Amino acid sequence: MPNPDLLHGATWNRIDLPGPPEAGTVPLRWTEIGDGGPLVTITCGVHGDEGPWSAMAVRRALSRASGDLTGRIRVVLAANPTSVAADARTSPLDGLDLNRTFPGNAEGSHTERLAVALAEIVEGSDLLIDLHGGGSWCVNAFTFRFPGSERFADAVGAPFVVDMPIRSGNLAGHVSEHGSKIVAIEMGGRSVDELLWKDRLADGIERILAEAGALAPRLAAPERPSTQVSDLSVVRPAHGGVLVPELRQDAIGSVVPEGTLLGTVHDLGTMEPVEELRAPHARTAMLLIRPHVCVLEGGAMTYVIGRAEG
């Protein structure tokens, strides 16, 4: 009986990047399983504040399909190691956003060199699955659908799908220029439902791997197709203060009518309500929410919304 975990006993490669003076180097870890067939690379943690949920989902997806490998799967669970360790969007070593740094610079700063190393791991893949997500402050649940890669986005089964042109400078755009198909998923974040979303993401990853021919199909298609969303925008309070959310984690992935109260901002000194944040569209898709009471600065990203089709 083979071990059901495809990553069991895998050899983890490391690329040592220049780190802070006291630490020496920072290892970028990756592994590859299988041989022949299509090559699919999965990246997690390009933005370090988007949490460990996607890496947990990858481990789950690959821990239950032994013997079904029909291609090669390359895995990078912490693509931006110093920002993952710091639970920060950018590396504390240079403050650069890795996903705005491709193709990078082999003689540059930490993040610029990291971009070069990561590009080398990913280039040549038939498909890149780039996993982003919520974080300790937000939850989200949608897939970006890129031209030419639609069938992979549709295999995810996220509540929402957003059509997105390919842009250069980010990881997806960079590998697309090198001939890879791409799918980017924004699913996860801290809430009492976090493990359910992790399992749902694992199912999506497994379906994509099957669609790409890297795993034998095992799961049925998503129960319902993702709702298409357009006109993405960010809801930002004009005032800083305490956000008291009206919509909680169970609203992620839902569609709410125009005027729905999303949350109220209260003055820090008086706790008087100073601003109500409301849904602007007849069918407002809730792509990202802050499900917890929190302190916000004026202008902070508080919700990502769009117009839901249908």
CA 62 to chain centre: 18
Please say which residue, 131 or 208, places its beta carbon nearer to Zn ion. Answer: 131
CB of 260 to Zn ion, least distance (A): 26
Which two tokens mark 178? 């090198």
Q: What are phi and psi of 167, to 5 degrees?
A: -115, 145
Is 290 a residue that touches Zn ion (CB under 5 A)? Answer: no
Nearer to Zn ion, 232 or 274 (CB): 232
CB of 47 to Zn ion, least distance (A): 3
CB of 109: closest distance to Zn ion in angstroms?
Answer: 20
Q: Applying CB under 5 A, what is the total number of residues that bind Zn ion?
A: 2
Site string for Zn ion, 40-79 (x = CB under 5 A): -------x--------------------------------
**Strand 261-266 and strand 273-278: pairing?**
antiparallel
* Distance between CA atoms of residues 46 and 169, nearest Å: 13
Closest to Zn ion by CB, 6 or 146: 146
94 contact partners, CB below 8 Å, separation of at least 6: 109, 110, 111, 112
Which of 59, 110, 132, 145 binds Zn ion (CB under 5 A)? It is 132
Contact 89, 45 (CB under 8 A): no
C-beta of residue 135 within 8 angstroms of C-beta of residue 51: yes
Stretch of residues binding Zn ion (CB under 5 A), selected from 3-11, 132-140, 216-224, 294-302: 132-140
In the bound state with Zn ion, the residue whose beta carbon lies nearer, of 47 and 59, is 47
Give whichever of 8 and 100 is closer to Zn ion, judged by the CB atom: 100
Rounded to whole angstroms, the Cα distance separating 267 from 100 reads: 35
The CA distance from 29 to 27, in Å, is 6
Question: Smallest distance from the beta carbon of 157 to Zn ion, in angstroms?
Answer: 20
Sheet of 241-245: strand order equals: 273-278, 261-266, 241-245, 294-296
Which of 59, 132 has the CB closer to Zn ion? 132
Cα radius of gyration rounded to whole Å, the chain: 20
Distance CA 79, CA 54 (A): 12
As measured in angstroms, the least distance from the Cβ of 303 to Zn ion is 16
Minimum gap (Å) between residue 88 Cβ and Zn ion: 12
Looking at the Cβ atoms of 121 and 171, the one nearer to Zn ion is 171
Interface with Zn ion (CB under 5 A)? 47, 132
